[in-house]
C-alpha cells in the first residue's frame, strides 16, 4: 500500500446527524462496512479492479484488518475509522469520524481522498467521481449506518 496516504488529494466530505449515541453509531458503522464491503458484489468488484485487498473481511474488524478494497489504518472506537486501499487506477483513503452532536445524537462524517494517476486513472475518476456515483454511494452508506444506529439505540 502507498506509504504517503496523507498526500492524497481531497475529493469530498459528507455528513449525517444520527439520532443515536456514539457507541451505537460506531457499532452500526462497523457492522454496515463489514456486511456491505464483504458482500459478494463488493468482493467481485475488488477483484475486477485489481484491489490490493480482496479476500474475506477480517473479523473482528481492527487496525490492520483487511476488508475487500481496503485495509483498516485507523481504528479508534466511537471516534475514528480510516480505510485505505489501491487498485489498478487509484490510491484512496476513506475516513469516518464520529462526534457527539447533542445529547443522544452523533454527527457521522466520511471524507475521501484519492489520487488517480495516468490516463486510465483520469478516466476512472471521471467515471466514479465526476459522474456523482461516489457521492451517491457514500451518502447512501452514511444513511444506512444512521438508520441501523437509530434502530439499535432504540432497541
The mean pLDDT of 25-41, rounded to a whole number, is 95
Q: What is the pLDDT of residue 100?
A: 93
Q: What is the pLDDT of residue 104?
A: 86
Q: What is the pLDDT of residue 3?
A: 40
Structure-block grid coordinates of residue 30: 462497523
pLDDT(20) > 50: yes
Structure-block grid coordinates of residue 7: 498526500
Residue 125 lies in a domain: yes
Residue 2 lies in a domain: no
Edge to edge, the sheet with strand 70-76 lists 10-18, 106-115, 91-100, 80-86, 70-76, 66-67
Residue 46 lies in a domain: yes
Structure-block grid coordinates of residue 65: 484488518
- What is the count of structural domains for the chain? 1
pLDDT(4) > 60: no
The mean pLDDT of 33-62, rounded to a whole number, is 93
Nearest CA to 127 out of 87, 84, 67, 85 is that of 87
Whole-number Å distance between alpha carbons of 133 and 25? 24
Q: What mean pLDDT value characterizes the chain?
A: 93
Provide the residue range defining the domain that includes 96. Answer: 8-154
Whole-number Å distance between alpha carbons of 45 and 122? 19
Residue 1 lies in a domain: no
Residue 34: give its domain's CATH number. 3.30.530.20
Q: What is the pLDDT of residue 155?
A: 62
Under DSSP, is residue 144 helix (H, G, I), strand (E, B) or coil? helix
Amino acid at each position: 500500500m502507498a506509504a504517503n496516504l496523507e498526500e492524497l488529494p481531497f475529493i469530498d466530505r459528507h455528513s449525517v446527524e444520527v439520532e443515536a449515541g456514539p457507541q451505537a453509531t460506531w457499532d452500526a458503522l462497523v457492522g454496515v462496512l463489514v456486511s456491505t464491503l464483504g458482500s459478494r458484489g463488493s468482493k467481485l468488484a475488488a477483484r475486477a479492479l485489481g484491489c490490493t485487498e480482496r479476500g474475506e473481511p477480517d473479523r473482528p474488524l481492527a487496525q490492520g484488518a483487511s476488508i475487500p478494497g481496503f485495509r483498516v489504518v485507523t481504528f479508534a472506537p466511537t471516534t475514528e475509522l480510516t480505510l485505505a486501499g489501491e487498485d489498478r487506477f487509484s490510491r484512496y483513503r476513506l475516513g469516518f469520524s464520529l462526534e457527539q452532536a447533542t445529547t443522544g445524537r452523533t454527527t457521522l462524517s466520511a471524507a475521501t481522498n484519492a489520487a488517480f494517476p495516468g490516463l486510465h486513472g483520469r478516466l476512472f475518476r471521471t467515471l466514479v467521481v465526476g459522474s456523482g456515483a461516489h457521492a451517491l454511494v457514500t451518502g447512501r452508506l452514511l444513511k444506512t449506518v444512521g438508520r441501523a444506529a437509530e434502530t439499535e439505540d432504540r432497541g
